[in-house]
């Protein structure tokens, strides 16, 4: 049952489809947000970590005696002590195989490194003291003797065996995956009229959330280990802590307040989280650790880092016959399950994108190096796959002489082919890709580009036009979510969901869905998130928060209202079928008899109407888009300016247009950052991190884009896999922006007399790199 039509005034003002101001913002703007570092319990101790200065070394000994005797120091513990106490290793690569069918390989990852370190910044010891400065001073006094070992920082060195990171894999290949029909694809390439080949790098990047990872752990009054954390997945953290410390789930509680950004980097438990949990349990005192920016660069999961040899076979008319890829992903020193799955499974799921490609031959390898492990970062495998596909499409257009828009038209999956199963056995429920592109071209003023190019040329600039048509997979394949709905006697509807806020406005959107059903003002809705005592769930990742969490909340609200209607019928001594509901009141049709929803709750034994509900969606969603950018390249300096950016995005039904637009535009800026600026760099000889601060790592700034974004949402093709018709949106802008901008630079160079450079472009397109390529400098 839904109240959408019965409560037009309230729903029209606050419900779905309305750009309601974010309910989270007032507290944040007033500086009364509740981040983990804002909480200061009595008797709080501070934590610092001793980190390896070497990329690869044996730990000969760890001497903590001097540190133990320093002022304020309460505890110093090494990896050997945690291992001796029975702390288990963190989970690593599972479910993937090496060549020949052997189990996937990865070194055992200890919470604190024991016997061997494998990347600079790996934690070796934990120090707990009365103040942060005391903890840091004591960490400096911990003496660790290392025996250095050879180190490798890139996949080329690694697969040649320059250093062996895992004894079970002398070639450092943790796992591999093959998909498709190699023989069939080979035959298609043999008969193809055109073959396009590119070497493509998706460089390593840092998530760079404004709030660093922060953990506060203490023992609550009921003798439980309790956390306040900056995380996207509180249930996942709790489960890992329980497993590694051999605790029961009911012994651990994880809560989350405000989170200053996550971007995928704050999914799951890190070694530091478990070490702090162990120390808090041992000391029975509150412990806090907030990473500094250098620690984040050194030890938080990085994203991307994929090298791909890509080949496209086309018929004379431009129809794609086959796609062949060989990719090697640098997954860092430990092949985590997430890091491997992103490159060996999730990226491949969308590799053929919006195109009807009959044959594929994919070979993906996860390679270990002496660098920080990789993990989820906004898009998680889909940006890498789409970047490869869109670079191939534009290069194919240049080499065949077929207009790039026409080339895409000839290869789009058509609406009548839906539901469509791609070569990776993923089923798209709906999609009108040509329709979205047509809107995108019109919105961007595609046909008027030549006049704009001429103006740029008169000013000594090369102007290029970039296009990306693409889709992505969302949902995290965690397709079920649990919610609770409580109608309280004090006039509040309180809802709980295990999806999590991290700056994206999820609480506002969830509240709007409650308004849709109950028809009450938003100030009567209270959204509670981030508490494992209130309920378990996957958390927020993979653009699933509204897709799964919102669907569950909508259905849970409808069930609660249906239950309330039964109670109202009993209270009014009428049949439920004779009741109408509107704006928080049940009325007996044709009479003046009525009862207020909240008064009805007050008459129940617990003074509330409570319902717990689980809802599963039918499958993932497949948002898609057409992004168009224009750039100016200064041939004298190599500087690139984004001077126009337009996007049309099929995200299904839109609950809050302002929040969705913020997700799309913010994501696009991150994608442009990768295209033009960002890169995590390790020294090739020592595997020392060279970009360990914001003095060295170039993050996107406000002046990166010299234009206003023109952003549209197409709601004409709702998703069929969930009751709301929504599609995931949190990562779409990032996925589209990177190829769109690089394609624009390639176009500018091709039009400006540098056509030979276009297929050789590699991100980030910094002025120095681009100038060198344009002018043939070393």
Identify whether 159 is part of a domain: no
**Domain final residue, candidates 553, 582, 616:** 616
Selection from 119, 109, 140, 114 nearest residue 60 by Cα: 114
Please check the confidence at residue 18 and state whether its pLDDT lies above 60: yes
Selection from 159, 569, 561, 520 nearest residue 330 by Cα: 159
**Helix extents (H) in 731-766:** 732-751
631/669 same-domain check: yes
For residue 194, the SS3 value is: strand
pTM for the full model?
0.96
Residue tagged 């000889």 (tokens)? 685
- Give the C-alpha separation, 373 to 365, whole Å: 15
Instruction: Name the pLDDT band for 703 (thresholds 50, 70, 90).
Output: confident
Give the CATH number of the domain where residue 250 resides.
Answer: 3.90.1170.50
501/466 same-domain check: no
Identify whether 668 is part of a domain: yes
239/251 same-domain check: yes
Mean pLDDT of the chain: 95
Give the CATH number of the domain where residue 677 resides.
Answer: 3.30.365.10
Cα angle: 505, vertex 597, 547; to 5 degrees: 30
629/594 same-domain check: no
Please check the confidence at residue 82 and state whether its pLDDT lies above 90: yes
516/455 same-domain check: no
- Work out the average pLDDT over 65-85: 98
Cα angle: 686, vertex 275, 55; to 5 degrees: 5
Please check the confidence at residue 364 and state whether its pLDDT lies above 90: yes
486/453 same-domain check: no
396/530 same-domain check: no
What are the pLDDT digits (tens) for 149-199? 999 999 999 999 899 999 999 999 999 999 999 999 999 999 999 999 999
**Domain final residue, candidates 299, 322, 357:** 299
Please check the confidence at residue 278 and state whether its pLDDT lies above 70: yes
Phi/psi of residue 463, nearest 5 degrees: -110, 135
| Burial of residue 365, with CB atoms counted within 10 A of its CB: 0-12 exposed, 13-18 middle, 19 or more buried | buried
| Domains contained in the chain, number | 3
Instruction: Name the pLDDT band for 488 (thresholds 50, 70, 90).
Output: very high
Identify whether 332 is part of a domain: no
What are the pLDDT digits (tens) for 369-421? 999 999 999 999 999 999 999 999 999 999 999 999 999 999 999 999 999 99
Residues 6+ apart with CB under 8 A from 570: none
Please check the confidence at residue 679 and state whether its pLDDT lies above 90: yes
Identify whether 363 is part of a domain: no
- Give the C-alpha separation, 106 to 335, whole Å: 5
557/690 same-domain check: no
Please check the confidence at residue 615 and state whether its pLDDT lies above 50: yes
Identify whether 352 is part of a domain: no
- Work out the average pLDDT over 504-532: 95
Identify whether 417 is part of a domain: yes
pLDDT at 107: 96
pLDDT at 2: 39
Selection from 138, 123, 93, 80 nearest residue 273 by Cα: 123
Please check the confidence at residue 249 and state whether its pLDDT lies above 50: yes
| Burial of residue 223, with CB atoms counted within 10 A of its CB: 0-12 exposed, 13-18 middle, 19 or more buried | exposed
3-state secondary structure 92-145: CCCCCECHHHCECCCCCECCCCCCEECCCCCEEEEEEECCHHHHHHHHHHCEEE
Please check the confidence at residue 778 and state whether its pLDDT lies above 70: no
470/481 same-domain check: no
Q: What is the DSSP string of 290-324?
A: E--HHHHHHHSPBEEEEEEEEEEEE-TTS-EEEEE
- Give the C-alpha separation, 70 to 137, whole Å: 8
582/660 same-domain check: no
What are the pLDDT digits (tens) for 195-245? 999 999 999 999 999 999 999 999 999 999 999 999 999 999 999 999 999
What are the pLDDT digits (tens) for 423-464? 999 999 999 999 999 999 999 999 999 999 999 999 999 999
Selection from 474, 537, 447, 525 nearest residue 728 by Cα: 474
pLDDT at 195: 98
pLDDT at 13: 73
Identify whether 364 is part of a domain: no
Structure-block tokens of residue 156:
């080329």
608/539 same-domain check: yes
pLDDT at 1: 35
Instruction: Name the pLDDT band for 705 (thresholds 50, 70, 90).
Output: confident
- Give the C-alpha separation, 202 to 577, whole Å: 60
Classify strands 709-714 and 640-650 as parallel, antiparallel or unpaired: parallel
- Give the C-alpha separation, 286 to 277, whole Å: 10
**Domain final residue, candidates 616, 639, 674:** 616
Which residue range(s) make up the domain with 280? 38-149+212-259+266-299
- Give the C-alpha separation, 458 to 740, whole Å: 24
115/220 same-domain check: yes
Identify whether 328 is part of a domain: no
């Amino acid at each position: 049952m839904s109240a959408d039509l019965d409560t037009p005034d309230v729903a029209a003002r606050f419900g779905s489809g309305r750009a309601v101001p974010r309910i989270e913002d007032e507290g944040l703007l007033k500086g009364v947000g509740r981040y983990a570092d804002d909480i200061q319990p009595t008797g709080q101790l501070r934590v610092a970590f001793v980190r390896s200065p070497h990329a690869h070394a044996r730990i000969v000994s760890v001497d903590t005696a001097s540190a133990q005797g320093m002022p304020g120091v309460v505890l110093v513990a090494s990896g050997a002590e945690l291992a001796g106490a029975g702390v288990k290793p963190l989970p690593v690569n599972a479910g993937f195989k090496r060549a020949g069918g052997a189990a996937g390989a990865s070194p055992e990852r200890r919470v604190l490194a024991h016997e061997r370190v494998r990347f600079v910044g790996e934690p070796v010891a934990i120090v707990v003291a009365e103040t942060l400065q005391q903890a840091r001073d004591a960490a400096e006094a911990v003496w660790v003797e290392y025996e250095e070992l050879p180190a490798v920082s890139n996949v080329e060195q690694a697969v040649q065996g320059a250093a062996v990171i895992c004894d079970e894999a002398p070639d450092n290949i943790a796992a591999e995956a093959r998909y498709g029909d190699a023989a069939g694809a080979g035959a298609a390439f043999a008969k193809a009229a055109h073959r396009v080949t590119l070497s493509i790098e998706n460089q390593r990047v840092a998530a760079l959330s404004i709030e660093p990872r922060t953990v506060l752990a203490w023992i609550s009054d009921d003798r439980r280990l309790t956390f306040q954390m900056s995380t996207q997945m509180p249930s996942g953290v709790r489960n890992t802590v329980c497993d590694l410390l051999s605790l029961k789930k009911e012994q651990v509680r994880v809560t989350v307040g405000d989170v200053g950004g996550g971007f995928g980097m704050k999914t799951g438990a890190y070694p530091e989280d478990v070490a702090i949990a162990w120390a808090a349990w041992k000391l029975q005192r509150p412990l806090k650790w907030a990473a500094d920016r250098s620690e984040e660069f050194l030890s938080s999961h990085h994203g991307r880092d994929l090298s791909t040899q890509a080949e496209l076979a086309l018929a004379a008319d431009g129809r794609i016959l086959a796609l062949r890829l060989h990719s090697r992903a640098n997954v860092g020193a430990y092949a985590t399950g997430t890091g491997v799955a992103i490159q060996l499974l999730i990226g491949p799921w969308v590799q053929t994108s919006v195109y009807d490609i009959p044959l594929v031959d994919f070979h993906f390898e996860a390679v270990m190096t002496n660098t920080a492990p990789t993990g989820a970062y906004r898009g998680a495998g889909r940006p890498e796959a789409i970047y490869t596909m869109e670079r191939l499409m534009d290069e194919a257009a240049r080499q065949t002489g077929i207009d790039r828009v026409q080339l895409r038209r000839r290869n789009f999956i058509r609406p009548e082919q839906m539901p469509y199963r791609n070569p990776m056995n993923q089923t798209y429920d709906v999609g009108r890709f040509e329709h979205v592109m047509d809107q995108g071209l019109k919105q961007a003023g595609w046909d008027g580009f030549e006049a704009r190019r001429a103006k740029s040329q008169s000013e000594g600039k090369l102007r290029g036009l970039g296009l990306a048509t693409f889709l992505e997979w969302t949902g995290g394949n965690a397709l079920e979510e649990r919610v609770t709905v409580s109608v309280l006697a004090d006039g509040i509807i309180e809802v709980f969901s295990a999806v999590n806020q991290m700056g994206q406005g999820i609480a506002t959107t969830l509240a709007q869905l409650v308004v849709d059903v109950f028809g009450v003002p938003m100030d009567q809705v209270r959204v509670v998130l981030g508490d494992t005592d209130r309920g378990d769930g996957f958390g927020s990742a993979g653009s699933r928060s509204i897709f799964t969490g919102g669907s569950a909340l909508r259905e849970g609200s409808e069930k609660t209202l249906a239950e309330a209607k039964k109670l109202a019928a009993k209270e009014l001594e009428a049949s439920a079928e004779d009741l109408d509901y509107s704006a928080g009141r049940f009325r007996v049709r044709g009479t003046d008899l009525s009862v207020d929803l909240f008064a009805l709750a007050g008459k129940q034994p617990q003074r509330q109407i409570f319902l717990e509900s689980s809802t599963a969606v039918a499958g993932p969603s497949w948002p898609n888009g057409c992004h168009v950018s224009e750039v100016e390249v200064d041939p004298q300096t190599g500087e690139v300016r984004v001077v126009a950016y337009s996007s049309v995005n099929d995200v299904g039904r839109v609950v809050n247009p302002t929040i969705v637009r913020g997700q799309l535009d913010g994501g696009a800026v991150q994608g442009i950052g990768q295209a033009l600026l960002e890169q995590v760099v390790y020294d090739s000889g020592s595997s020392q991190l060279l970009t360990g601060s914001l003095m060295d790592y170039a993050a996107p700034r406000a002046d990166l884009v010299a234009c206003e974004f023109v952003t549209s949402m197409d709601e004409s093709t709702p998703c069929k896999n969930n009751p709301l018709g929504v599609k995931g949106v949190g990562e779409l802008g990032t996925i589209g922006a990177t190829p769109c901008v690089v394609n624009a630079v390639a176009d500018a160079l091709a039009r400006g007399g540098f056509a030979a450079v276009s297929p050789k472009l590699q991100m980030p397109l910094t002025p120095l790199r681009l100038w060198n390529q344009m002018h043939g400098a070393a």
